[in-house]
Each structure stands twice: as structure tokens, then as C-alpha cells.
Amino acid sequence: MSTPSSLIAQDRKLGWLLLLPSLIVMLAVILWPLIYSFFLSFQNLNISNPARGREFVGWDNYVRVISSKPWWKSWLRTIYFVLADLLIGIPLGLGIAVLLNRDFKLKGVIFAIILFPYVLAPIVNSLIWKLIYDPNYGFLNGILLQLGLIKEYIPWLSKPSLAIVMLIIANLWQGTPFAIILFLAGLKAIPKEEYEAASVDGASGFTSFWYITLPHLKPILYMNFVMKTILTFKLFDIVYSLTGGGPGGSTEVVGMMIYRESFEFMRFGVASAMSYLLLFLVVVLVIFYSWAFKEEKE
């Protein structure tokens, strides 16, 4: 079917017209702020001293951030958090997906239940875990005492070494269903014939898992690494509401620190610099993952 050129021109005009509202909204809320905060990261706004107004300070904000000790400490905590999330969350997600990847009664209901934590607001997740971890009336202390595993109640969120572990558990509880969904989709896509051929050849369950399942799941593993890394590095909601970065700063991860810098101390320039450093690192990591996963494929 040949379309007259006037119609094509009309289509182009309409095409732009239909895109325009979306583009304007995204420009206003995403692109413009991004550029603006990039410039902010080189400025000092002097909000506490409006008479001085804004000044351009060059790389000062970045230098100040990089040379500050709390900044690197919060990075260590964040990396601890991310590593725990990757090393526990991904195998856990894969394990549960393998468990679910067969037909059994009530599968739909069970799958829906397993997805529950994932659709909750992170703030509601915090609320639930606050009720579990509560030192006096929480479920965790209650059950551990009833099982005779502890002799007295433990203040889970007030001990610096414990608090971050408790946050990691709460975060895994919410994040693992996403991994399960991805892994299940990946498992379903593996052709059954490969397993049948392998079992004819006498391969054990473990062998076929190692040589058939895992290689097929490589793109899914990649997606999991990328998503978990992105999300956990900027983790904020549950830290803010469960511990507020405490006790004694022991859970002050990078996302929390950036928030305090911006909306507690109102140092927008420094906070922008921190955020750009974080974005930079996440981009580098994602590029690294793409490289690492591609390399192994060949």
C-alpha cells in the first residue's frame, strides 16, 4: 500500500504532537532537575546565610566529600549491605524459584503469597519489621524466648553490630520475590529436551543444574545483579524509618547520608555532589557487570 507523502508528513506532525505531553513532563521532572543539580554540585547555596547568595566553588564540594571520613564509612556499610544482598538474595531467589518451578496444587495461591512482600511500600515493610524487632513486645524476642534460644530479650535495632543485619533481613524479605519472578521466567524458558537428553546420558540432577540450568540463566543472573546493585546502593526508605541511620551512625548508608546532607543540613551543593558520585559508581558497576557477563558467554 503506497501512502501519499502528504499523509506521511501529517503523521509526523501528529506523532510529535502525541509525544509532546510526555516529553514535556519527563523533561520537567527528570532531565531539567538532573542538569540543574549537576550545576548545584559545583555551587555553595549558603542557605543559612542568604545575604552571601550562591557562589561557584568549582570542585570544592566533591573534594570535601571525598576527603571526609564519614562518607567512606557510609560506603563501607553500604557495600556490606549490597554484598549481603547479592550473596544471600540471589541464591535464595534462585533456590525458591527452582522449588516453585513445577506443577503442584495451589500453585497460583502460593505464588501470589510469595509475591506479597514485593508489592508493599518499603515504609510498610519497615512497619512490619518494627513490630517483629520490637525489644519488648516484638515477635522475634517472643518466639526465641519461647523456644528457649535466648534467655533475655535482645534490643535488635539498638545494637550497632546487629542493627544493620536486621535491616538486611528486612530488605531481603521484600526484595527476594523480584528475584524469584525473574528466575522463574528464566527457568520456564529452558527447553525441556535438554534435561531429557541429559538424563538419558545419565546426568545427575546436580550436573544438569550446573551445565544446563545455570548457563541458560546467565542473562537472568545479570539482570538480578544489576537491579539489586542499583536498588541497594540507593537504599533509603527502610533505613530512614527503622533506624534513622542509628544507633550511633551504624546504619548510616550512603542513601541516608545524602538525605541528611540535603534535607536536614540543607547543603544542596554537597548533597548533589554526593549523589553524582553515587550515580557514577552505579553506572561503572553496571558497565562492569555487562562486561563480565558478556566475557563469560564466549
Partner 1 sequence: MSKRLSPTKILQVFLLLIVLLSVLIPFYWTLKTSLSPEKDIRSLPMKWTASRLYVKNYQNIFMSTSKAMGTAYTFKKSLANSLVIAISSTIVTVFLGTLSAYSITRLKMRIGKLMTFFILLTQMLPPVLLVIPLYMLASNMNLLNTKSILILSYAALNLPLCIWILRGYFKTLPSEIEDSALVDGCGRLQSLFRIVLPMSSPALFTAGLFVFIASWNEFLFALIFSSNLSTKTLTVAIAEMVGRFRTDYGLMATSGILGSLPPLIFVTFFQRYLVSGITGGAVKQ
From 80, 111, 209, 293, residue interacting with partner 1 (rule: CB under 8 A): 111
Angle, alpha carbons 208-211-213 (nearest 5°):
70
- Of the pair 80, 240, the CB lying nearest partner 1 is at 240
Q: What's the CA gap between 290 and 105, in Å, rounded? A: 39
* Contact flag: residue 37 with partner 1 (CB under 8 A): yes
Q: Which residues of 46-66 are buried (b: 16+ CB within 10 A; e: fewer)?
A: eeeeeeeeeeebeebbbebbe
Number of residues that bind partner 1 (CB under 8 A): 90
- What torsion, rounded to 10 degrees, do the Cα atoms 141, 170, 126, 265 define? 110
Of 220, 214, 218, the residue nearest 184 (C-alpha): 220
From 2, 18, 49, 202, residue interacting with partner 1 (rule: CB under 8 A): 18
Q: What's the CA gap between 237 and 260, in Å, rounded? A: 13
* Contact flag: residue 84 with partner 1 (CB under 8 A): no
From 9, 28, 63, 76, residue interacting with partner 1 (rule: CB under 8 A): 28
Taking the complex as a whole, how short is the minimal distance between the CB of residue 187 and partner 1, in angstroms? 11
Joined grid coordinates for residue 60: 570544592
* Contact flag: residue 212 with partner 1 (CB under 8 A): no
Taking the complex as a whole, how short is the minimal distance between the CB of residue 253 and partner 1, in angstroms? 12
From 65, 114, 164, 167, residue interacting with partner 1 (rule: CB under 8 A): 114
Q: What's the CA gap between 237 and 174, in Å, rounded? A: 12
Taking the complex as a whole, how short is the minimal distance between the CB of residue 66 and partner 1, in angstroms? 17
* Contact flag: residue 26 with partner 1 (CB under 8 A): yes
Q: Locate the DSSP E strands across the chain.
A: 43-44, 55-56
From 75, 209, 240, 293, residue interacting with partner 1 (rule: CB under 8 A): 240
Q: Per CB under 8 A, which of residues 253..272 are in contact with partner 1?
A: 255, 258-259, 262-263, 268, 271-272
- Of the pair 68, 101, the CB lying nearest partner 1 is at 101
From 56, 72, 139, 291, residue interacting with partner 1 (rule: CB under 8 A): 139
Which window, 73-81, 132-140, 160-168, 206-214, contacts partner 1 (CB under 8 A)? 132-140
Q: How many residues does the chain have?
A: 298
* Contact flag: residue 112 with partner 1 (CB under 8 A): yes
- Of the pair 142, 249, the CB lying nearest partner 1 is at 142
Please state, in angstroms and as integers, the Cα–Cα distance from residue 137 to each residue in 132, 155, 209, 246, 268, following that order. Answer: 8, 11, 44, 21, 40
Amino acid at 19: L
